[in-house]
Structure 1
Amino acid sequence: MNFYIASNFQNIHEVRELARILKLEGWNHTYDWTKNERVDSYNLLSEIGRIEKQAVVDSDFLVVLLPAGKGSHIEMGIALGLEKRIFLYSSTNSSFDFDQTSTFYHVDGVDRFTGDLQSFAHYLIGIHHQ
């Protein structure tokens, strides 16, 4: 099972922990952007963008850990366009409150999960073992 995790640097520890758990299942993380150093050129931005786009293409599903930045939402758009399954995770319901949410959080193929990260990881593993 190939997966990609989109988020922002404020969630770096959660991204790494979720990836660790999923890799213990023998799954493949298509790209670990948390290993990137500070980007300081347009050329590097372009290269990372190309790699991240390909990582979404190569994934069987996309996880978005909320709150997420603009890049994560672009990656989500790529996954939606490719009709990949998308899992949105938030530790609280606030990201899904009507005044905070996105229309794309509520389209077919997008699953929303609220709770602790360990429970979310087990949810993902359970769904993909069916």
Structure 2
Amino acid sequence: MKFYIGSSFQNIKQVRHVAKVLTLNGFIHTYDWTGNERANTLDKLQSIGEEEKQAVTESDFVIILLPGGKGSHIELGMALGLGKPLYLYSPSDEINDPAGSSTFYHISGVNKFTGSIDDFLLHLLKHELVPD
């Protein structure tokens, strides 16, 4: 099973932790953007965008770790549009507050989770580790 993780640069440590746990459990990470520096040219933005688009397309499921930026919300939309299972993680219950939430967090196909990142990983593995 292949996965993609969308988030923001401020969450690089968590993204790497989630990716490591999943790969140790036999999953394949379609693209690790955490090694990128912030793009400072349009050419770099385009190149990274193409790689991330391909990674979302090739994934079997997509994970969005909040808080996220513009890119992660676009990746969320691509995953939904492609019919990919989507796991939305928030460390707090903010995603359930209508004042600060997004309509797309609450549609079918979005598996929301709030709490610790390790509890989220247990939840994710429970849903995605299917015996052959």
**TM-score, normalised by the number of residues in structure 2:** 0.95
Structure 1, 46-55 or 92-101: larger mean CA deviation: 92-101
Whole-angstrom CA distance in 2 between matches of 1:96 and 1:29: 29
Whole-angstrom CA distance in 2 between matches of 1:97 and 1:80: 21
Q: Tell me the amino acid that sits aligned with residue 59 of structure 1.
A: S
Unaligned residue ranges in structure 2 (runs of 5+): none
Query: For residue 61 of structure 2, what is the aligned residue in structure 1?
Result: 61
Deviations 1:23-81 (A, max 9, x none): 10010010000000232211111000000000000001111001100110101111111
Whole-angstrom CA distance in 2 between matches of 1:67 and 1:38: 17
Query: For residue 92 of structure 1, what is the aligned residue in structure 2?
Result: 92
Percentage of matched positions with identical amino acids: 52
| Length, aligned pairs only | 130
User: Residue 95 of structure 1: CA displacement?
Assistant: 2.5
Query: For residue 7 of structure 2, what is the aligned residue in structure 1?
Result: 7
Q: Tell me the amino acid that sits aligned with residue 45 of structure 2.
A: L
What's the secondary structure of 2:126's corresponding residue?
Answer: helix
Tell me whether 1:39 sits opposite 2:39 in the alignment: yes
Deviations 1:83-106 (A, max 9, x none): 111110011101221111111001
Query: For residue 107 of structure 1, what is the aligned residue in structure 2?
Result: 107
Whole-angstrom CA distance in 1 between matches of 2:129 and 2:49: 31
Question: 2:95·2:105 contact (CA, 8 Å) conserved in 1?
Answer: no
What's the secondary structure of 2:88's corresponding residue?
Answer: strand
Query: For residue 81 of structure 2, what is the aligned residue in structure 1?
Result: 81
Which stretches of structure 1, 4 residues or more, deviate above 4 A after TM superposition?
A: none
